[in-house]
Chains A and B, each alone.
Chain A
Amino acid sequence: MAAVLMLGNEALARGAWESGVRVAAAYPGTPSTEIVANLASYDGVYAEWSTNEKVAYEVAFGAAMGGARALTAMKSAGASVAADPLITSVYTGVNAGLVVCLAGDPGMASGMTEQDDRYFGRISSMPMLEPADSQECYEFVQLAYEISESYDVPVMVRMSIQTAHQKSVVKLNDDDDARAAAPERRPPDRKTEKYCMLPRFSRPMHRSLLERFERLRAYAEASPLARVEATGGDGRMPLRDGGSARIGVVAAGAAYMSAREAAPGAAFLKLGIVHPLPVETVRRFAASVDRLFVVEELEPYLEEQILAAGVACEGKRWFPAWGELTPVRVGQGFHAAGLDLPRWAEEKPAEDTGVIPRPPVLCTGCPHRGMATAMKRLDLDVHGDIGCYDLTSLPPVSHMHSAFEMGASIPMDQGFWRAGGSAKGSVAVIGDSTFLHSGLTGLLNAVHQRANVTVLIQNNSITAMTGGQTNPGNERTLAGAETRPVDLVAICRALGVEQIETVDPYDYEACLTALKAGLAFDGPAVIVTNRPCMLFPRKVPGDGHFEVDEDLCNACQQCMRLGCPSLSHAEATFKRRHKVEIAPDTCTGCSLCAQLCKAGAITKAGVA
């Protein structure tokens, strides 16, 4: 048994590989990205970055129907995109096992919402396991394949970011042939009545789905996945009013870890399966304690089911329904509920909020900067999408007016225009990967509806925000195979767009001109930028740095509007405003600052 440190996501990938997974498909999304990224490195696994989560789900499902154990992974928002096949697939069931990994983001480290993903289990009747650390990620995914094939159903492995993105010790099966015990590919299914969702076939499927769910309920009740842990004996704990009580806690996943850290003396019913909830096991546990607490992140998902079963419990009264449930937040909930826990009695700050904030910013040389500055200069309404360009909604650029979900920019801008638009005009801003994920249909709609929208495709030829994953605009796939990159201009033309312009985003005047031309055009217009991301797939080397002639700089601050991390205020001032200096070691030579400088103070170093 080799003990290694692994991310929850890495451990999940390893466990899936040992289970014999052959096909893995996902669209990158924090905090789920590392699952399929890691699977790509294992022998015998085909892994792909699909164009979106729905496509990925369908690829994985098709593989399972075709007899290969398969996996798909997504973040919360991705589950919403994939919800249609996700729900349908529980009706049909599978052939070889299918595991759906869903990494949620309470606290919204990178998510747009902190939706409670467990309701996907409820709405679909898909069984849902929830690991609490990397070891469980490794083990639960293997169990998930067994359940999937035994019960003929896709199985969800659900995590919160704290589990997906923690590194903890995994005791690996270091048998050289750990994967050898995995089953062979099954014969492919060819079953009209199982996979054709016409009412004639799907009506009986719903009845068998409900019947299967009862069998899964029995499995959950008998399973070691729901286990009682009495680390502190019978869970008797002191109360602040002087007495004591037997305290029982029902929890799963990250919330379980936080609750155990917060109240180690309590008795725990640790749930490794959250759907179906083994409510009779909960009832028996409740009978052994004086007070039963349910500690769960976000909604009272478990609490409501436990109450509905007639078992008294306390939950959201003490523990917030928003944000991550860290040990301190759980501890303060217990304190408020009357438990005597000196460690949590006093509130302590995690960080000094008085120190200058340091949010992430667009990199030096980022190809998004030129257009962002031009749109601000023209005072346009900017309807963004999901990508690094959303950072322009924050200081120092602070010029973006919506950033909603994948593909929203173009339809929302169309609606905004249909409502009458704004005085200076509006632009839909979307990246290449997002455009290929779900922007195409919005643009097609705009063409069909003869909408007068201007669409800016901030094309940096990579999926940058999640760490540089490939997309159909690239020459290689995740598996390393050569492929034909799609031509964004040709796609837009094929969709029926007549006005399309390609622009160098390092040319500020060209950015302004293209935006004005797009706004003036009667009909949908598209602008495509053509500079690569500075970080991915590889760091772009600088093209000589620029420097400021301090004598010529009149401290007008025009260049500072760019929000470039390589520009900062110098000691020297002019009319009580700071002049500017450029960090020579980080400047990449994009020249935008020089183009904005009316005093001619910024020039390329070493050029007379």
Chain B
Amino acid sequence: MSGRVDNVMVVGVGGQGVIVAAAVIADTALLHGGLDVKLSETRGMSQRGGSVCSHIRIGQQVIAPSISPGEVDYLLAFEAAEGLRFAVSVRRGGVAIVNTQQIVPPLASQGDFAYPFDAIERMDDGSRSVVAIDGNAVAEAVGDLKVAGVVLVGALSAYLDFATATWERALRRNVPAKWLDMNLAAFAAGRQATAARSAATTTGEASA
């Protein structure tokens, strides 16, 4: 048997940096050593403002590259409505980290669909642990909106059992050198934002 597998799903809107974030997470698991890792690339035209979703599976042995419905352990949502869209796939007791940013798609202007401005409240219905952070504000404080995705990776890092130094090595391998310092700062700020909450959650899980 393949043993335990951690399922991480990263979702957002094309152009937000979901693909880079997923690569950093998968690479960290690989660099940690002794683990099998599979990542299923986003489908569709990710650079044209569409909904984007990446699956990362980490464990002693990973078979299928995609996460099955209802089995997401950690959802990392770069945008609130995308968080709501994929929240149903988080297992009972799983964690959803969601950026408070709201990107209203052009369709909402046609009047056929309403944007869910209450997305985060709707996610937080007791089925899962919801952590909302204003990743864009943190990124701007660090220096640039561009690094908001890495702030969110930092927020996730507090929940996964990898050393900070391993995350930093993965960042080094996946972001351009001239942006590295800002990315490292963004990562640290994001990790800081959830460190306290993750300690409470993981302690709870350990006793379960």
Contacts and interface: CB of A to CB of B under 8 A. Distances in A.
From B46, B104, B107, name the one whose CB has the most chain A CB atoms within 10 angstroms: B107
B1 A569 contact: no
Interface in B61-120: 62-66, 68-70, 81-82, 84-89, 104-110, 112-116, 119
B198 interface: no
Given A5-B37, A168-B39, A568-B108, A391 B48 contact: yes
Interface of A: 3-5, 7, 109-110, 133, 161-162, 165-169, 231, 257-258, 260-261, 264, 326-328, 331, 343, 348-352, 355-363, 388, 391, 395-396, 465, 467, 535, 560, 563-565, 567-569, 578
Contact of B43 (A110, A133, A257, A264): A110
Contacts of B107: 356-359, 395-396
A29 to B, nearest CB: 14
Contacts of A7: 41
B6 interface: no
A560 B109 contact: yes
B113 A360 contact: no
Interface string B1-31: 1100000000001100000000100110010
A162 B40 contact: yes
Contacts of B68: 261, 326-328, 331, 343, 348
Given A257-B64, A349-B89, A358 B30 contact: no
A328 B70 CA distance: 10
Nearest to B70: A348
B143 interface: no
A166 B38 CA distance: 7
B168 interface: no
Given A356-B116, A363-B48, A395-B112, A169 B36 contact: yes
A102 B48 CA distance: 26
Given A327-B64, A349-B69, A395-B107, A355 B44 contact: no
B208 interface: no
A351 B85 contact: yes
A110 B44 contact: yes
B60 interface: no
B49 A358 contact: yes
B110 A358 contact: no
Contacts of A357: 51, 105, 107, 113
Nearest to B1: A264
B43 A358 contact: no
Q: Which 8 residue pairs of A and B lie closest in terms of their CB atoms, listed nearest first?
A: A360-B50, A348-B70, A360-B48, A261-B64, A166-B65, A109-B43, A360-B45, A167-B39
B89 A351 contact: yes
B169 to A, nearest CB: 14
Given A110-B43, A568-B106, 4 more contacts: A261-B68, A358-B13, A361-B50, A363-B49
Contacts of B1: 231, 264
B201 interface: no
Given A167-B39, A348-B69, A358 B81 contact: yes
Given A350-B69, A350-B89, A356-B113, A167 B81 contact: no
Contacts of A567: 106, 109
A578 B115 CA distance: 14
A352 B85 contact: yes
B202 interface: no
Contact of A358 (B47, B89, B105): B105
A161 B44 CA distance: 11
A165 B85 contact: no
A326 B66 contact: yes
Contacts of B41: 7, 165-167
From A231, A565, A567, A578, name the one whose CB has the most chain B CB atoms within 10 angstroms: A565
Nearest to B72: A350
A348 B86 CA distance: 12
From B44, B66, B86, B87, name the one whose CB has the most chain A CB atoms within 10 angstroms: B66
26 contacts: A110-B45, A133-B38, A166-B39, A167-B37, A167-B39, A167-B40, A167-B65, A257-B65, A261-B63, A264-B1, A326-B64, A326-B66, A327-B66, A328-B68, A351-B89, A355-B119, A358-B49, A358-B51, A358-B105, A360-B14, A360-B45, A360-B50, A395-B112, A465-B45, A564-B106, A569-B108
A396 B114 CA distance: 14
From A165, A351, A358, A567, name the one whose CB has the most chain B CB atoms within 10 angstroms: A358
A348 to B, nearest CB: 4
Contact of A162 (B2, B48, B66): B66
A355 B106 CA distance: 14
Nearest to A349: B88
A161 B49 contact: no
Given A162-B66, A327-B64, A355 B84 contact: yes
Contacts of A331: 68
Contacts of A395: 107, 110, 112
A166 B109 contact: no
B43 to A, nearest CB: 4
Contacts of B14: 360
A467 B46 CA distance: 10
A577 to B, nearest CB: 9
B31 to A, nearest CB: 10
A600 to B, nearest CB: 21
Contacts of B112: 395
A326 B66 CA distance: 8
B108 A109 contact: no
A174 to B, nearest CB: 15
A169 B36 CA distance: 7
Contacts of A560: 109-110
A469 to B, nearest CB: 14
Given A169-B36, A391-B48, A264 B2 contact: yes
Contact of B27 (A5, A349, A356, A467): A5
Contacts of A363: 47-49
Contacts of B66: 162, 326-327
Contacts of A261: 63-64, 68
A261 to B, nearest CB: 4
B190 to A, nearest CB: 22
A328 B104 CA distance: 32
B84 A166 contact: no
A165 B43 contact: yes
Contacts of A465: 45
B88 A569 contact: no
Nearest to B82: A358
A335 to B, nearest CB: 13
B30 A3 contact: yes
A168 B41 CA distance: 11
A377 B113 CA distance: 24
Contacts of A358: 13, 49-51, 81-82, 105, 107
